[in-house]
Amino acid sequence: MSTLSRRNFVAALGAGAATVWLTAEARDLLAAGKRAAVAAQAQAPFKILTADQAADLDAAASRIVPSDGTPGAHEANVVRFIDESLAGFGKDQRDDVNKLVAELRRLAGERHKGAKSFAALTPGDQDAVIATMEKTKGSHFGLLRAVTVTGMFANPEYGGNANKNGWKLLGFDDHFSWAAPFGWYDRNV
Amino acid sequence: MSDHTHPPLTPLQTTTVKYKPEDEVDFVVVGSGAAGGVVAKELSTAGFRVVVLEQGPWRTERDFVHDELAVFDRSLLTNDYSKSPNTFRKTEKEKAKVQPAVAYGRGVGGTSVHFSANFWRFREIDFNEASRKGTLAGTGFADWPITYQELEPYYTKVDWEVGVAGAPGPFDPPRSRPYPMPPHPPKSTGVLLERGAKKLGWTAFPAPMAIVSKQYDGRSACAQCGFCLGFGCEVRAKSSSLVTTIPKAVATKRCEVRPNSYVRKVETDTRGRVTGVKYFDATKKEIYQRAKAVVVCANGAETPRLLLNSKSNLFPNGLANSSGVVGKYLMFNGAGNAMGQFEHEVNGFKGIVATRVVWDLYELDPKLGLVGGGGFDYRFDVTPIGFGFGGLPPDAPKWGSAYKRELQKQYNRTIVAYGHTSSLPVATNSISLDPEVKDDWGLPVIRMTYQDHPQDLKLYKYFADRSKQLLEASGAVHAWALPTDSQEFSVHLLGTCRMGNDPKTSVVDKNNRAHDVKNLFVVDGSSLVTSGRGQPTMTIQALAFRAADQIVGFAKRHEI
Ligand SMILES: Cc1cc2nc3c(=O)[nH]c(=O)nc-3n(C[C@H](O)[C@H](O)[C@H](O)COP(=O)(O)OP(=O)(O)OC[C@H]3O[C@@H](n4cnc5c(N)ncnc54)[C@H](O)[C@@H]3O)c2cc1C
Ligand code: SF4
């Protein structure tokens, strides 16, 4: 792998939590048949997250990649990816994700007296909470961003990137083969 | 993995001969990677009975998936840190911490399976730079005991045996035979590199790649799928040992490749001769395979570890280590990179990694006061998840609509200018045995001690600035240099059993034979004396062909 770009994107997060997430113990999800099944489960109950936790994470991921005209983290089903990972290769991160949700709720309460969930805030208040997290050392902003990015862009078999919404956003696709011209510059030499 | 099924390929030859552990075979080869494949093929073709012991599984194309998460973050094809951790420290004064430090392919074919196949030859200067430019106090910067001319026939052999695509250019090192096939078509990255190079008065020309550009030796041409760096090739176009040398070794019916066989010790007798190896099979049962000679091809990280783990009464500091330099002089190659965004679509994610290279800075103007040199390519080796994390400039928004807009706009317009460089051999940079941490088999793990030499850090910075300059010359709308901190992780693992004429300062002689043990050979990235300018594997394989020639000669003349 390109050590530099790899190192760089991990460094770019500025948070150790995400690195742990990404290098977490691996086997389970690859085990037989599981991957194909996951994609079909958009409506199924969550395995690890409670419905309230899922709602808060969905709302928070949607501030990282909003659904502003084109599909965002919500349409990519990032929250399903989080749940599936916590049930499988990311099971060591359950505690961190619980803490992330707790932080979102605490900050929601501080922002809006009486608010019990992050999801209940207006988008504007939600953004203010995320902005606070981004600025605060030791917050779970890095983890929130890491799970959102990974859930947006990992293969759909992991439960996120639904309808390849993440890849469509980038303009990426996984084809078996490509042929020249590959881009504008080799087409217009 | 998502939208395609695997092409129907006729299975390649699998093992046709079986030896018993108590059979004393002619050679045991430890590791089946870039070098191990060559050695196995050459020795078995010459008529010898060979057992290749490979710790990882024997995969086929069907096991390869386009899955960024599994491959990069969950060690699908590589050494698994959960079973075999590494430890790392910057200096010998520190206690090493558990953290990933090396990544290599663990399976038949080794790291050649998922490498990106940039296949530069070294040049004359890489073999004699120390005497031509002067060595450097505090380093082990030295000349090789062989020259480019001695190795040239073997470079050519690699070209034709495994399949290398390219075109000779004004800067291509001298060659005795043309490339066996034409270069790959330029991608937009290549066209832009040509443009930038021209503006700076440099020349870009076709990148030599170990990827076949047309049908070759029964293998199909590259499908330009784009999942090359880090992934296994599903069409056998990448010239890995898995699809080149290993099937040929097996076809001799004299070579048995035994996967899932993790060698823990090279055994010696009271006369100090190697008698075979002890390894764990898939069930962790220990087996002793006898052999007349052993060739260790386990790479620049695992080879020194195995030799150090093979200590005995006769070899208290580790096998073949009377010099004390086993594990020392670890080199990586450096990098000075930049990223740039362009006006139109580049689509760097399609196709092979690099199609054009620039070698004008292979040797630098002495006025700069820098040691070494390098070469450039343009690539986009940032897969989707990676791009989401760090594909945008450092000051770009990290979340929200503005972040999303930038992701959408820039993914297809971004290029990494990669400045590949030399790095110096420094004795304190090393692979040693961690005194505390053990792997799942109870063996001490790799402890890496590494800090880039200050001269190298200057070199990387120089190349990062030139990379940025190149991107701007190519017309980038925005370009930024990437940081060049001291490295703590590598996939180029070199120099840890260095080659030399003096048994006091090197581990193997010019024929890759251990100075201390007549029937032990070390053939892989660990024997490199200098790092070259970035792509070591062509040289590792050329050395392997050369060593195999020598070993065959010794064996036939009963000189082992
Ligand atoms: C992502 C990536 C991209 C790369 N791109 C390039 C590139 O573009 N150009 C380039 O020149 N180089 C590249 N490299 C580096 C290149 O792959 C290595 O330099 C090369 O494969 C090293 O060859 P080797 O024979 O020394 O070892 P390897 O190919 O690593 O083979 C060693 C083998 O030994 C086995 N082994 C180790 N220990 C034991 C043991 N105790 N018992 C049994 N088996 C054992 C391993 O499992 C492995 O199969 C890249 C590497 C990576 C990871
Ligand atoms: S780009 Fe070509 S060589 Fe590389 S994996 Fe895809 S088909 Fe194979």
pLDDT higher than threshold 70 for residue A10: no
Q: How far is A96 from chain B (nearest CA, A)?
A: 18
How close is the Cα of B302 to the center of ligand 1, in Å? 10
Residues 6+ away with beta carbon under 8 Å from B202: B358, B360, B361
Are the beta carbons of A152 and A65 closer than 8 angstroms?
Answer: yes
Q: Which domain holds residue A100?
A: 6-187
Q: Is residue A34 part of a domain?
A: yes
pLDDT at A41: 54
Q: Is residue A144 part of a domain?
A: yes
Two structure tokens written together for A86: 């916590």
Two structure tokens written together for B454: 């200050």
- Which residue type is seen at B554? F
Q: Is residue A18 part of a domain?
A: yes
Q: How many domains does chain A have?
A: 1
Residues 6+ away with beta carbon under 8 Å from B436: none
pLDDT higher than threshold 50 for residue A135: yes
Q: Is residue A166 part of a domain?
A: yes
pLDDT higher than threshold 70 for residue A24: no
Q: Give the angle B371-B375-B376 at the CA atoms, nearest 5°.
A: 135
Q: B227-256 as b/e, with b when 16 or more CB fall inside 10 Å?
A: bbbbbbbbbbbbbbbbbbbbbbbbebebbb
Q: Is A127 exposed, middle or buried (0-12, 13-18, 19+ CB in 10 A)?
A: middle
**DSSP three-state, residue A100:** helix
Are the beta carbons of A82 and A49 closer than 8 angstroms?
Answer: yes
Report the share of chain B in percent with pLDDT over 90. Answer: 94
Report the share of chain A in percent with pLDDT over 90. Answer: 72
Does the distance separating the beta carbons of B68 and A155 come in below 8 Å?
A: yes
Does the distance separating the beta carbons of B404 and A68 come in below 8 Å?
A: yes
The pLDDT tens digits of the residues spanning A47-83 come to 999 999 999 999 999 999 999 999 999 999 999 999 9
Two structure tokens written together for B428: 């304190």
Q: Give the angle B48-B52-B54 at the CA atoms, nearest 5°.
A: 175
pLDDT at A50: 97
Two structure tokens written together for A93: 């991160």
Q: How far is CA B552 from the centre of its chain?
A: 25
For atom 3 of ligand 2, which residue has the closest CA?
B238
Ligand 2 pocket mutation, candidates B112, B113, B115, B211, criterion most atoms within 8 A of CB: B211
pLDDT at A33: 35
Best B77, B398, B474 member to test A by mutation, with max A CBs in 10 Å, is: B398
> Is CATH 3.40.50.2000 what the domain over B1-165+229-321+497-560 is classified as, yes or no?
no
Chains A, B: CB contacts under 8 A, how many? 206
Q: Give the angle A11-A94-A89 at the CA atoms, nearest 5°.
A: 75
Q: How far is A113 from chain B (nearest CA, A)?
A: 24
What value does the mean pLDDT of chain B take?
Answer: 96
Lookup result for tokens 């504008």? A184
**DSSP three-state, residue B95:** coil
Low-confidence ranges of chain B (pLDDT < 50): 1-3
How close is the Cα of A21 to the center of ligand 2, in Å? 29
Which residues in B359-453 belong to E strands, given as ranges? 374-379, 414-421, 430-438, 444-449
pLDDT higher than threshold 50 for residue A9: no
pLDDT at A189: 86
| ipTM of this predicted structure | 0.93
Does the distance separating the beta carbons of B491 and A3 come in below 8 Å?
A: yes
pLDDT at B6: 72
* Mean pLDDT score, A13-42: 36
pLDDT at B5: 65
Rounded distance between C-alpha atoms, residue B154 and residue B512, angstroms: 15
pLDDT at B4: 58
Are the beta carbons of B466 and B178 closer than 8 angstroms?
Answer: no
